[in-house]
Structure 1
């Protein structure tokens, strides 16, 4: 998380959220990963370059829909094609019902595979609409984001390649976006 906070900067006056983690744990019936908790403290909910949205944790069961960490949408769970895997060796290893959605791009779902009892061991799973399939990466959320922002994948894991060209990535908190702030386009370097 330290490297991520050194790489990613806040754009706008709001940076970080105060979260009642005991309420979050009661809502989900388990703790969420430590690196996610640190991310919420450092950045909060919002978007990286308005391309990748990080969802807030729910503190009540009523919030388990909308822009909060949640299970996959019922329509996706019912769709037989939504269970396809890019790597056939991963087929059958992970259940869609065991995933918690923590991030989105315009085209993709970013989840944790929650089958391990220790949330700090949850790998990141990405459903890429470009590939119309899932891939699982053996990293936590912070390391996944760091690798994404440093272009540290052999195969780009998300559909939108726009984050590949950003040398100084910025985070825009939801509150600042709602107040009308927008990240200005920068020329490609």
Structure 2
């Protein structure tokens, strides 16, 4: 992964926990429900472009349906990093300036906006362990025998 190219195209650094996650798991799907969007080597510019041009978030913003959140690259704007198969969207709020301090913002499929003062990996771990509850998401997620599909070049 060429993080320098990706972050130059995006216009900001990304949280270090997400960079480590993306390096370890280029594909990550939790319990056939939540998919983490990780950049692929050679497609860094495309991933960055998708983050800057989030049409759904832009439309919601223009309709006044973001509860004060703004799309990136506006200051403090949202950058998407995951989505659920039922329409939940997961973002970072790019404020404060240190990417490792960016909170996770969730827009649930029913239009609620929730903010969690943790990074992406801590958020995913909390959801998986069921120590972090996201109102509006299915109560049975993840299931008792949740499967995590993570393809990694590091797996032999």
TM-score (structure 2 length as normaliser): 0.78
RMSD between aligned alpha carbons? 2.4
Q: 2:127 corresponds to which residue?
A: 148
Q: 2:70 corresponds to which residue?
A: 96
Q: 1:59 corresponds to which residue?
A: 44
Change (3 A) 1:72 1:35: same
Q: 1:83 corresponds to which residue?
A: 66
Contact 1:127 1:135 in 2 (8 A): yes
Q: 1:164 corresponds to which residue?
A: 142
Deviation at 1:169, TM superposition (A): 3.4
TM-score (structure 1 length as normaliser): 0.65
Greater Rg over alpha carbons, structure: 1
Q: 2:5 corresponds to which residue?
A: 23
4+ aligned runs moved over 6 Å, structure 1: none
Q: Once the two structures are superposed, what CA deviation does each residue of 1:110-149 show, in whole Å capped at 9, x if it has no partner? A: 000002111000000000123x220100000000000000
Change (3 A) 1:20 1:122: same
Deviation at 1:161, TM superposition (A): 3.5
Contact 1:111 1:126 in 2 (8 A): yes
Deviation at 1:166, TM superposition (A): 3.4
Query: d(CA) in 2 for partners of 1:156 and 1:61?
Result: 30
Query: d(CA) in 2 for partners of 1:64 and 1:71?
Result: 6
Which SS does the other structure have where 1:96 is aligned? coil
Query: d(CA) in 2 for partners of 1:25 and 1:49?
Result: 30
Q: Once the two structures are superposed, what CA deviation does each residue of 1:85-123 show, in whole Å capped at 9, x if it has no partner? A: xxxxxxx5xx32200000000221100000211100000
Query: d(CA) in 1 for partners of 2:14 and 2:107?
Result: 20
Q: 1:120 corresponds to which residue?
A: 100
Which shifted more, 54-63 or 25-34? 54-63
Gaps of 5+ in 2: 72-76
Deviation at 1:173, TM superposition (A): 4.1
Which SS does the other structure have where 1:126 is aligned? strand
Which SS does the other structure have where 1:117 is aligned? coil
